DNA sequence: AGCACGCCGACT
DNA sequence: GTCGGCGTGCTC
């Protein structure tokens, strides 16, 4: 060890640099340990990141660390390396990145929970007692008897599993001083759960081949794309690979998009895999989250199931990473620390030296490009379990068609046919409310949001005008606010209006609408889905909510009412998202005895990407879309960073970006291109004007190099009144 | 981020 | 005369 080492500490907040301290009396704790340090005239909790031989600043200014807060580091070396890498790559302050990876209580100086498993053991008084003396309290007696057999103590959760409700009996025994809490080594605790592991179902040959490829790769870095159509049994492959890892004493990390972390998935993992399952979800209460974090970080939980933030959870024996629905945009954080959990999962696997499995039915074009380049290995599951046949997909040209309730005659006829044979119908319309526009027929007045460049949507159910961009609510005027005329008209169609139209077109047919409005009440979504599954609903309509995660085995016809709306959105990823939506919807229609049917209403049936999707499936679509991306020099053939700025005045936002651009130009190597500044697609939102400056570069290292020099100058830039800005590396949404 | 310092308008 | 507005800069 070097003498006179300097401790380099990361502090919370947007502080870009590490701060140097003298080790003081804290000894030589390992990097990853929390330390209490003097900072300005206060004290802060920081994280010791590394030691250095000398400091970058005036040594006389160095202050000593007050003390170390943890007996052992919270982050292991690779956990720390990953977060440092991520902070640098996404140009985010390291302290902030480290602290967001910690449970809330540990961001303060709160103590680390005792390690090991919560256990109960007898006190000396308890050991001296004979159970007969508790004859009047049979539960306490049973507990005491069981504890007498294991003087070293028993895990509280095993006792609960064995004896049932023990809380009140425990409380009584504790009050009498007969038992006490203790901590047990995770390895020493008999795993009561392991007996509950369910038998594994038979794998089909493709599943077996995928599993074999992954298990063969264990012990070294290897990224896989598990390209499996909906219902092909990807989860079964994950579970079998994880079981293997856990049996060998390793830990597995599984990440899913927010909507995918359902109770059913948790249950499936819990019943099929041994040991406690650590579930990390943003909706968890702080205490539950901290407990799960602890089980993961201490190594007690062999399996961690979580959403994107789980990518940073310390895992001492990590041996396998799974990212399910890897194409899902929610794996990228959209504010603050804008990391991609999928990309970081691959990076983490590389650092740890373990396989990573990216699973999906509709791979992101970036991922497919990595397969083509030979960086990822593709494993295919082309068959639906249970032999269900793939649905047919039809484009329906609705130009010059007489639409009723937004439905063309052909779609209505297909709906009648499906209903007549006892099938259910699923209709997707990605627009909530009754009508997206309210206008005056006499003077042309339109109900616009005063704070956004957007129309207010009419919601008839709640009788209000609602801006979907800022949440502003206004009452529905009876007469025109401008001319006083009575002829207000509702233009366009949302799910409410579609439901109304369907009621008229299909009298007597049971209809359910599922969107954010109809499912706001807790439990309502579950109730509606259950009704669908019991067959009490014949037509199911709703927004994209319906296309994600839920299975509808009774649905034989699925219709997308307005495909063009999704296809022609301003984002260059719109066609990719639309193709993914179509394939996901198709995956939920049809069953073994009857192939399902998907109908897409469009005014652009000649769209070349749609044509490739229909003729050659998602793979064909992806090839065509990648060719377009290459021609347009868009990702994955180039790399992007997006500087966004917003301010109460448009000029301020643009001025900031112009200054940013001026600072960028001298730093640009020839391959770095700057585009903008330009106003954002929805320029004004919630009273703030938004603009953006795009940085494009054919090579990732050159872009990284540029950003490393540019971002410090952005922070030093003279502040312009009211401007807030953020940098998004590898942006997912360009809006 | 906090938290100081510092330099100009409208208050007792 | 000061109270306080928030622009600027620093924290090892
Ligand atoms: Zn009018
Ligand atoms: Zn608005």
Would strands A355-360 and A222-228 be described as parallel, antiparallel, or unpaired? parallel
Confidence of residue A734 (pLDDT cuts 50, 70, 90): confident
Query: From CA A296, how far away is CA A316, in angstroms rounded?
Result: 8
Q: Write out residues whose CB is closer than 7 A to strand C.
A: A 15, 17-21, 37-40, 55-57, 61-63, 718-719, 721
Q: How far is the CA of A457 from the centre of ligand 1 (A)?
A: 18
Residue A630: closest CA among A401, A357, A372: A372
Percent of chain A surpassing pLDDT 90: 74
**According to the model, what pLDDT value does residue A209 have?**
97
* A327-357 pLDDT per residue, tens: 999 999 999 999 999 999 999 999 999 999 9
Q: Kindly indicate whether the domain formed by A6-107 is annotated with CATH number 3.40.50.2000.
A: no
The average pLDDT across A379-402 equals: 88
Confidence of residue A2 (pLDDT cuts 50, 70, 90): very low
The architecture that CATH gives domain A388-432+494-631 is 3-Layer(aba) Sandwich (3.40)
**According to the model, what pLDDT value does residue A157 have?**
66
In this prediction the pTM is: 0.90
The average pLDDT across A177-206 equals: 69
In the predicted model, is pLDDT for residue A187 greater than 60?
A: no
Q: How far is the CA of A472 from the centre of ligand 2 (A)?
A: 5
Q: How far is the CA of A691 from the centre of ligand 2 (A)?
A: 17
The interaxial angle of helices A700-716 and A650-664, nearest 10 deg, is 120
Q: Superfamily assignment of A639-729 in CATH?
A: Ribosomal protein S10 (3.30.70.600)
CA of A709 to C1' of B6 (A): 32
Owner of token pair 């005659």: A409
The ligand whose atoms approach the alpha carbon of A484 most closely is 1
Q: What is the mean pLDDT of chain A?
A: 91
The ligand whose atoms approach the alpha carbon of A685 most closely is 2
Q: Is A470 annotated as a binding residue?
A: yes
**Alpha-helix runs per DSSP H in A248-364:** 263-272, 286-297, 341-352
Residues 28-57 of A with CB under 7 A from strand B: 40-42
| A411 within 8 A of A599, measured Cβ to Cβ | yes
Ligand 1 (ion): residues with CB under 5 Å are A 440, 442-443, 445, 480, 482-483, 485
The pair of structure tokens assigned to A635 is: 């990702």
| A677 within 8 A of A659, measured Cβ to Cβ | no
The pair of structure tokens assigned to A321 is: 């990473």
CA of A721 to C1' of C4 (A): 19
Query: From CA A62, how far away is CA A618, in angstroms rounded?
Result: 59
In the predicted model, is pLDDT for residue A195 greater than 50?
A: no
User: Smallest CA–C1' separation from A14: which nucleotide?
Assistant: B1
Q: How far is the CA of A476 from the centre of ligand 1 (A)?
A: 14
Query: From CA A408, how far away is CA A399, in angstroms rounded?
Result: 9
CA of A728 to C1' of B8 (A): 39
Percent of chain A surpassing pLDDT 70: 95
Is the Cβ atom of A15 within 7 Å of strand B at any atom? yes
Q: Is A182 annotated as a binding residue?
A: no
Better pLDDT: A391 or A37: A37
Q: Is A57 annotated as a binding residue?
A: no
CA of A699 to C1' of B2 (A): 39
**According to the model, what pLDDT value does residue A434 have?**
97
Residue A266: closest CA among A305, A240, A295, A232: A305
A502 phi, psi to nearest 5 deg: -65, -35
Peptide bond into A636 cis (omega under 30): yes
Angle at alpha carbon of residue A338, lines to A333 and A340, rounded to 5°: 65
Query: From CA A338, how far away is CA A87, in angstroms rounded?
Result: 10
In the predicted model, is pLDDT for residue A136 greater than 90?
A: no
Q: How far is the CA of A438 from the centre of ligand 2 (A)?
A: 15
In the predicted model, is pLDDT for residue A585 greater than 70?
A: yes
3-state SS class at A265: helix
Residue A690: closest CA among A675, A702, A673, A677: A677
**According to the model, what pLDDT value does residue A657 have?**
95
* A436-492 pLDDT per residue, tens: 999 999 999 999 999 999 999 999 999 999 999 999 999 999 999 999 999 999 999
* A142-167 pLDDT per residue, tens: 777 787 777 777 777 676 767 666 77
**According to the model, what pLDDT value does residue A252 have?**
98
CA of A13 to C1' of B10 (A): 36
**According to the model, what pLDDT value does residue A194 have?**
47
Q: Is A440 annotated as a binding residue?
A: yes
List bases, strand B, within 7 Å of protein CB.
1-4
**According to the model, what pLDDT value does residue A593 have?**
66
User: Smallest CA–C1' separation from A20: which nucleotide?
Assistant: C12
**According to the model, what pLDDT value does residue A653 have?**
93
Q: How far is the CA of A457 from the centre of ligand 2 (A)?
A: 10
Complete DSSP assignment for A136-200:
T-HHHHHHHHHHHH-TT-EEHHHHHHHHS--HHHHHHHHHTTSEEEEEE-GGGS--GGGGGPPPP
Q: Is A467 annotated as a binding residue?
A: yes
| A653 within 8 A of A645, measured Cβ to Cβ | yes
Q: Is A668 annotated as a binding residue?
A: no
**According to the model, what pLDDT value does residue A548 have?**
79
Q: Which residue is nearest to nucleotide C11 (CA to C1')?
A: A40
Least confident of A33-42, A165-174, A532-541, A726-735: A165-174
The ipTM of this complex is 0.91
The average pLDDT across A51-74 equals: 91
**According to the model, what pLDDT value does residue A553 have?**
85
CATH code for the domain defined by A205-259+277-385: 3.40.50.300
């Amino acid at each position: 060890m070097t003498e006179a080492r300097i401790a380099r500490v990361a502090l919370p907040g947007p502080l870009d640099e590490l701060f140097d301290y003298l080790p003081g009396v804290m000894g030589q704790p390992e990097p990853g340990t929390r330390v209490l340090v003097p900072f300005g005239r206060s004290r802060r909790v920081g994280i010791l990141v590394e030691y250095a031989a000398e400091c970058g600043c005036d040594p006389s200014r160095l202050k000593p660390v007050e003390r170390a807060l943890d007996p052992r580091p919270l982050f292991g070396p690779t956990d720390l390396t990953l977060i440092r890498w991520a902070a640098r790559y996404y140009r985010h302050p390291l302290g902030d990145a480290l602290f967001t990876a910690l449970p809330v209580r540990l961001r303060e100086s709160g103590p680390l929970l005792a390690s090991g498993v919560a256990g109960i053991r007898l006190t000396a008084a308890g050991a001296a007692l004979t159970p007969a003396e508790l004859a009047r309290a049979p539960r306490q007696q049973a507990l005491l008897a069981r504890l007498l057999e294991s003087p070293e103590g028993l895990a509280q959760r095993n006792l609960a599993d064995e004896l049932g409700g023990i809380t009140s009996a425990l409380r009584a025994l504790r009050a009498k001083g007969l038992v006490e809490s203790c901590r047990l080594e995770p390895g020493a605790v008999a795993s009561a759960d392991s007996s509950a592991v369910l038998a594994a179902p038979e794998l089909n040959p493709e599943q077996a081949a995928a599993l074999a490829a992954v298990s063969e790769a264990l012990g070294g870095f290897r990224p896989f794309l598990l390209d499996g159509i909906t219902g092909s049994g990807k989860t079964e492959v994950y579970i079998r690979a994880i079981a293997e890892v856990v049996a060998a004493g390793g830990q597995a990390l599984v990440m899913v998009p927010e909507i995918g972390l359902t109770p059913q998935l948790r249950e499936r993992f819990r019943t099929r895999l041994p040991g406690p399952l650590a579930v990390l979800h943003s909706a968890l209460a702080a205490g539950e989250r901290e407990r799960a974090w602890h089980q993961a970080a201490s190594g007690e939980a062999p399996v961690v199931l979580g959403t994107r933030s789980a990518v940073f959870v310390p895992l001492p024996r990590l041996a396998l990473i799974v990212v399910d629905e890897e194409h899902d945009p929610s794996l990228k954080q959209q504010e603050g620390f804008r990391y991609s959990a999928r990309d970081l999962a691959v990076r983490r696997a590389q650092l740890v030296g373990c396989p990573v499995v990216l699973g999906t039915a509709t791979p992101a074009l970036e991922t497919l490009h990595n397969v083509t380049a030979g960086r990822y290995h593709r494993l295919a599951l082309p068959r639906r379990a249970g032999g269900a046949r793939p649905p047919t997909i039809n484009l329906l040209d609705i130009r010059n068609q007489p639409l009723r309730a937004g439905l063309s005659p052909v779609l209505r006829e297909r709906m009648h046919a499906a209903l007549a044979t006892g099938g259910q119908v699923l209709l997707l319309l990605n627009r909530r409310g009754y009508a997206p526009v309210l206008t005056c027929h006499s003077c042309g007045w339109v109900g616009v949001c005063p704070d956004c460049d957007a129309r207010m949507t009419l919601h008839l159910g709640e009788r209000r005008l609602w801006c979907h961009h800022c949440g502003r609510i206004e009452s529905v005027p009876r007469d025109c606010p401008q001319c006083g005329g009575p002829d207000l008209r509702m233009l366009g169609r949302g799910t409410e209006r579609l439901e109304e139209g369907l009621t008229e077109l299909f009298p007597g047919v049971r209809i359910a609408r599922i969107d954010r409005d109809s499912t706001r009440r807790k439990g309502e979504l579950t109730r509606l889905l259950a009704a669908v599954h019991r067959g009490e609903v014949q037509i199911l309509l709703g927004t994209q909510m319906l296309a994600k995660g839920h299975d509808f085995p009774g649905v034989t016809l699925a219709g997308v009412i307005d495909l063009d709306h999704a296809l022609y959105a301003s984002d260059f990823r719109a066609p990719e998202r639309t193709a993914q939506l179509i394939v996901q919807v198709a995956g939920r229609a049809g069953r073994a005895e009857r192939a399902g049917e998907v109908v897409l209403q469009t005014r652009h049936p000649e769209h070349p990407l749609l044509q490739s999707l229909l003729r050659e499936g998602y793979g064909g679509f992806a090839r065509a879309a990648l060719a377009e991306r290459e021609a347009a020099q868009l990702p994955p053939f180039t790399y992007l960073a997006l500087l966004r700025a917003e301010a109460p005045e448009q000029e301020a936002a643009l001025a900031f970006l112009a200054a940013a651009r001026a600072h960028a130009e001298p730093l640009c190597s020839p391959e770095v291109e700057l585009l903008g500044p330009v106003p954002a697609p929805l320029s004004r939102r919630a009273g703030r004007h938004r603009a953006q400056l795009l940085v494009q570069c054919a090579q990732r290292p050159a872009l990284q190099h540029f950003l490393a020099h540019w971002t410090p100058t952005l922070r030093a830039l003279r502040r312009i009144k009211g401007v807030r800005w953020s940098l998004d590396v590898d942006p997912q949404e360009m809006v």
